[in-house]
Amino acid sequence: MQPCGSIFPLEQPCQRTSISAQIEKLMHDAVEEGCRVIRGRRRHEKGGLFYQPTLVEVQSTDSILFREEIFGPVAAFYKFATEEEALRIANSSDKGLTGYVYTRDLAQIWRVSRGLEVGMVGVNEPIVSRCETAFGGVKESGFGVEGSRHGLQEYTYLKLLCLGHMA
């Protein structure tokens, strides 16, 4: 992995034991089940609010890293042979917040983005959330969206007014 970008704290000081502890437990369980850590897997030298960017090769699609949402800098990957297999594996999860596609093939971007059962898709980009965009998932990752004008729809209702034969 080439050094790039920035890392940010995982949480506020009052949350210190929650998110970091969850990531550490997930990583411990992943290693126990045979996942191979390529890089990372510990708190960052910047201090307790930071966790090293971590890359993990998953050995089975039953891995805990595929069953749990990881709200931290951990990227789990699994080797696949075909695009269809990749979609089948990705969609077998009961989670559906964000999916990622790394390709320059525009047709593949559209196919895979449509095929992923997620609320957001990052294409060649790991950070998909911005204040001006809709944020939301599907399946056990949520229902509906927040942010942007689409988030306001949760607080409105649509009314049809059909006028006929006024004269």
Q: Which two tokens stand for residue 43?
A: 């708190």
Q: What is the pLDDT of residues 72-103, one digit of tens each?
A: 889 999 999 999 999 999 999 999 999 999 99
Look at 56 and 146; give whichever has higher pLDDT: 56
Q: Which residue has the higher pLDDT, 52 or 155?
A: 52
All residues at 6 or more sequence positions from 158 whose CB lies less than 8 Å from its CB, including other chains: none
Residue 77 near residue 56, CB atoms below 8 Å: yes
All domains in the chain, ordered by first residue: 1-79 (3.40.309.10), 82-166 (no CATH)
Q: Given this model, what pLDDT does residue 134 score?
A: 87
Dihedral over Cα of 20, 23, 27, 33: its sign: positive
Looking only at the bridges linking them, the beta strands covering 36-39 and 54-57 are: antiparallel
Indicate yes or no: pTM above 0.85: no
